[in-house]
Amino acid sequence: MDQLIIPALMHAGQYLVAFTLTALALSSVYSLSVIGERWWTFRQAHTASAGLLTRVLDEVERGRLQGALADCKAGRGSYLAAVLAVGLREFLPLESANPGLHAGPDMDRATFAAREAMQRSTAVEIERLEHRLTTLATLGNISPFVGLFGTVIGIMRAFDAISRTGTGALASVSTGIAEALVATAAGLFVAIPAVTAYNHFVSRVKSYATEMDAAASELVATVHRAAQR
């Protein structure tokens, strides 16, 4: 079996290395496109969320839930806007004709419904922010091994050249060694940015998730204070 497989690999070695490098080049382009798209999405989300919670809570303090909801609708792309908006919709029936909120039995039901809605919205926003991050993690994990495959094939071609020429002169092994080194470098070139970006984005998602939970709690507490007044 070895007498069949090894010569076949030697014969196809040049094409296998070319295929490996092509796959790594395509993976690099895709990885960089995902990194760029996620960076732009996170930047937009952060910009749209800046100061939104303060504006919403100020409106709620005055008993103007419609105004607070309008602020959320204006914050397109904001992770906070989506969470706060669903909570505000549950509290809207408590808004009075004059600025103010009705306190009573309906408050407890609205509070429970708002908390549940905001938890679901938080989960949806986390999923939106994590979109395609798994792909980055996968590319970061497998790219070094794909490069290693090309490295092995390149070394095998170098040894095959030695066996055919009967000498270890640099001219006979340089092609195989060069292919091996290029494949190794290509695998690392894909893996390092992918892993770095993945860790950065996951850290940002965790921070945003904490911020969304805190904003939901602050909204409920502010609604209760406004209703008591």
pLDDT for res 19 = 85
pLDDT for res 75 = 84
Q: What is the mean pLDDT of residues 180-186?
A: 87
Domain boundaries, position 135: 2-228
Q: 88 and 73 in contact (C-beta within 8 Å)?
A: no
**Residue pLDDT, tens place only, 67-121:** 899 999 888 889 999 999 999 998 888 776 666 666 667 788 888 999 999 999 9
| Beta-carbon count within 10 A of 176 CB | 22
Instruction: Report the SS3 class of residue 183.
Output: helix
Confidence bin at 11 (pLDDT 50/70/90) = low
pLDDT for res 55 = 93
pLDDT for res 12 = 56
Q: What angle do CA 53, 58, 60 make, to 5 degrees?
A: 95
Distance (Å, rounded) from C-alpha 35 to C-alpha 198? 8
Six token digits for residue 8: 């076949």
Q: Tally the domains of the chain.
A: 1
Confidence bin at 229 (pLDDT 50/70/90) = low
C-alpha distances in Å from residue 159, one per residue of 5, 145, 165, 188, 196? 16, 21, 10, 24, 36
The model's pTM: 0.84
pLDDT for res 167 = 61
pLDDT at 228 over 60: yes
Q: What is the mean pLDDT of residues 193-217?
A: 96
Quickly tell me which residue has 């406004």 as its tokens.
226
Confidence bin at 198 (pLDDT 50/70/90) = very high
pLDDT for res 99 = 61
**Residue pLDDT, tens place only, 147-179:** 888 888 878 777 776 666 666 555 556 777 787
Question: Percent of the chain scored above 70 by pLDDT?
Answer: 83
Distance (Å, rounded) from C-alpha 8 to C-alpha 208? 53
**Residue pLDDT, tens place only, 44-72:** 999 999 999 999 999 988 888 888 999 99
Which helix H or strand E contains 21, and what residues bound it? Answer: helix 2-49
